[in-house]
Structure 1
Amino acid sequence: MIHVQRSLQGIYAGFALSLFLLFCGSKTNAQELPCLIHAADVQPHLNYLASPDRQGRDDWGKVEAREYIIKHFKSLGVKPLFDESYLQAIPEFGSQAEMPPVYGYNIGGFIEGTDPKLKDEWIIVNAHYDHLGVRGGKVFPGADDNASGVSMLLEVARHISESPGKRSVAFLSFDMEEHLLWGARWFLAHPPMEVESIKFCLTADMIGRSLGGLDIPTVFVLGGERSREAHAALEAATVPQGLEIAQLGVDVVGVRSDYGPFYYRRIPFLFFSTGEHPDYHTPQDTLERLDVEKVARVSTVMNQVAQSMANMPGEITWEGNPKPSLQEVESVNRVCVNLLNSGEDGSLELTNAQRFFVSQVKSKTDYILKSQRYSIEERKWLVRATQIMMLTIF
């Protein structure tokens, strides 16, 4: 069964690789890729969205952020997603009123697909734009959370507007993510298209820092285990120099952003994040502390995935019972190595108990990787161990 599974993965990877080479050029010349997104491309978006003038993108600052996103959609020829409007009103959470007050606005636009049949299927690219505003007289700029993701969204929209795919692509910037994912939940409950026609969701949230503030070049990607086609598109993407991809099953981390409602509806998805850090949800999440090059590199990979999925031949499927993947073992092992190394150089203080636990997890994952055997029971252990590390260290 293992050899059969790998053969099937190879077939899907071949599909995605062919698409990638067709739409994004040669894998051996990454600097020449038309899919490449540069720091200079995302910098203006970050400067505007994470500016103290936006007041943490709440109240009037959020209105200005909306206007900025819509302005760019219009300049790219991205059409309004909600009838003739780019805005979808979100009612107050839990209100029983016949005419509940508006609590926020999702922003949406789309590029229609070129294939007569596949254009009725939808790829969703999304990143929330709301943040925490001003609290206690201090501005929470939200540079990483989530001006970084919105910058990706605008640049991927630019690339796809220049070269539309076979499927239609909707670009969504959800509101109220910081309030129980209410914007994404409202969108899926009241979509402008049939939910069944949504074939894939690509989400970015916090793609410009690093897990725990560690000096690591990693972006974590969740969801590949739930769709062979999405996994193949990710595997086929050229990863820019200076970036590493670490794949994890969604249950290892849980639902942390707007991919959640899509996951619960069994819609294939990939979620990109560089992880929580000490400045998460603090006034220190500023532009000056953001790794703009990393935002651009992650955006480059996401752009390739979006284009591959928009042009993927055949059906995009959901894996209800994914098999354990050694890739997530490799990802957890890499985190352990980085934690232990960082503890030694003083960049992250681990207690003796934390160091012992991380060492044990590393030893166990070393054994699994050496044996190349990863059972369901071992995966249950890995999920628990990873969650304990996240709760006690980060």
Structure 2
Amino acid sequence: MQTRRVFLKTLLGLGAIFLPWSIFPAQWGEWIKKEIGHPSVELLLPSEPKPSTVMNSESLNRTAMDDILTLTTPEMQGRKAGSVGEAKAADYLSSQLSMLGLKPMGDPKTGFFKAFTIPPVIETKVNERLTFRPGENRNLRTPSADLLGGLIGENASEVILLSAHYDHLGIFEGQVYPGANDNASGVGCILDVMRRILREGKIPKRTIVIAFWSAEEMGYVGSLAFVRTPSFSLNQIKAVLNADTVGNGTIGDFALWSDGENIAVQAVRQAASNCGASALLTPTGGHNSDSVSFSSANIPAVTIMARDWLNKNHTPEDTPALLRPDQIHLASQILYKAVHTLAF
């Protein structure tokens, strides 16, 4: 009986390590072997979808709310970085990037994906908000991935980066944290902007890259990993527009986070004004988002969010019912106009 218990614990432990990878592309198998050694059994992983040369009309006509509803389904399990739920979300997003005909901008061998690892974390509640703090064994790391796809412009060497994190908090004490506003709303807006640009059929002057970061909730780990080992030169990035928790609150009332005035801030603020909305630089109050990773590298960056973003944030009540579709549509409009200012 004791031997059987040991066997079952070992099997479950191996499953916890390798199961998230079973949904990611086959090319990642080589990355696993390189990072943690060749496993005792060969991992059979599905192939990454090949980028389409023709845009898929079904994907092209999806809306931000379609993406949000997909990313918050129970099977996504709250999209905690390093989990099976996160892997399913990444699979959905990679399929959308592929069907939109975007160029893979991740690692050369993994297409849209850019792999990294995350250290252990412990869930804790602060003022009723679930958050993560560093775990014990910092050498025990879990695989995760960012996703990047690009629309190549006339000047391929200059990039405007549109981004949002797609991870959230997962399951805690038996409750799923869906993360509809934080940050399925930002992901939906970024896809919405790219779909609109593609429907118009215009070639931008600068290349537009959309990026979906993971492990933002663990300390901007995914975006920091990209900045430290980018899949293309950081010197190419002229501005970063990051969307985070944009879908609730008073319609037209947005806040901006940045380290100060820059072309990204100016473009978003002017776009908001043109849309009849407000988007003012606001103190972070100890919070932040993935734009900080790029600001630290002296790249003009800004995060746009709903001013009321903290309402029900990091709670199981952050569901699609919290969102205001008109607010999400307006956020997409603002980002679309800002991108036009910077890339066209």
Which residue in 2 is equivalent to 1:294?
Answer: 327
Structure 1 CA distance, aligned partners of 2:263 and 2:113? 33
Which residue in 2 is equivalent to 1:315?
Answer: none
Please list, as runs of the form range in 1=range in 2, the aligned pairs for 1:320-335 lying within 5 A after superposition: none
Alpha-carbon shift at residue 164 of structure 1 (Å): 3.0
Contact residue 160 and residue 307 of structure 1 kept, 8 A? no
Contact residue 55 and residue 61 of structure 1 kept, 8 A? yes
Q: 1:92 to 1:225 in 2, by over 3 A?
A: closer
Which residue in 2 is equivalent to 1:79?
Answer: 103
Deviations 1:271-316 (A, max 9, x none): 10004333110000001121122111111111111122113xxxxx
Deviations 1:18-52 (A, max 9, x none): xxxxxxxxxxxxxxxxxxxxx97222111101222
Matching residue's letter, 1:155: D
Q: Secondary structure at the match of 1:303?
A: helix
Contact residue 268 and residue 335 of structure 2 kept, 8 A? no
TM-score by length of 1: 0.61
Which residue in 2 is equivalent to 1:303?
Answer: 336
Contact residue 119 and residue 141 of structure 2 kept, 8 A? no
Contact residue 203 and residue 270 of structure 1 kept, 8 A? yes
Q: Return 5+ residue gaps in structure 1 as ranges.
A: 1-38, 312-394
Structure 1 CA distance, aligned partners of 2:230 and 2:174? 37
Please list, as runs of the form range in 1=range in 2, the aligned pairs for 1:174-323 lying within 5 A after superposition: 174-210=213-249, 215=250, 217-223=252-258, 225-228=260-263, 230-232=265-267, 234-236=269-271, 239-240=274-275, 244-248=277-281, 251=283, 253=285, 256-275=288-307, 276-311=309-344
Q: Secondary structure at the match of 1:178?
A: helix
Alpha-carbon shift at residue 159 of structure 1 (Å): 2.6
Bigger helix fraction: 1
Q: Secondary structure at the match of 1:120?
A: strand
Alpha-carbon shift at residue 209 of structure 1 (Å): 1.1
Alpha-carbon shift at residue 233 of structure 1 (Å): 5.8
Q: Does 1:42 align with 2:74?
A: no
Matching residue's letter, 1:257: S
- Report the aligned-residue RMSD: 2.5
Q: Does 1:164 align with 2:220?
A: no
Q: Return 5+ residue gaps in structure 2 as ranges.
A: 1-60, 121-136
Q: Secondary structure at the match of 1:278?
A: coil
Structure 2 CA distance, aligned partners of 1:69 and 1:121? 24
Alpha-carbon shift at residue 265 of structure 1 (Å): 1.4
Contact residue 257 and residue 288 of structure 2 kept, 8 A? no
Q: Does 1:127 align with 2:164?
A: yes
Alignment counterpart, residue 52 of structure 1, candidates 67, 74, 77: 74
Q: Secondary structure at the match of 1:73?
A: helix
Alignment counterpart, residue 144 of structure 2, candidates 90, 93, 104: 104
Q: Secondary structure at the match of 1:121?
A: strand
Structure 2 CA distance, aligned partners of 1:245 and 1:195? 30
Structure 2 CA distance, aligned partners of 1:173 and 1:245? 25
Contact residue 185 and residue 247 of structure 2 kept, 8 A? yes
Q: Secondary structure at the match of 1:54?
A: helix
What fraction of aligned residue pairs are identical, expressed as a percent?
Answer: 28
Q: 1:233 to 1:54 in 2, by over 3 A?
A: closer
Contact residue 241 and residue 301 of structure 2 kept, 8 A? yes
Matching residue's letter, 2:338: V
Q: Secondary structure at the match of 1:104?
A: strand
Which residue in 2 is equivalent to 1:144?
Answer: 181
Q: 1:135 to 1:232 in 2, by over 3 A?
A: closer
Structure 2 CA distance, aligned partners of 1:236 and 1:297? 10
Matching residue's letter, 1:87: F
TM-score by length of 2: 0.70
Q: Name the larger-Rg structure.
A: 1
Alpha-carbon shift at residue 184 of structure 1 (Å): 0.5
Contact residue 224 and residue 231 of structure 1 kept, 8 A? no
Contact residue 263 and residue 300 of structure 2 kept, 8 A? no
Matching residue's letter, 1:268: P
Say how many residue pairs are matched: 261
Matching residue's letter, 1:120: S
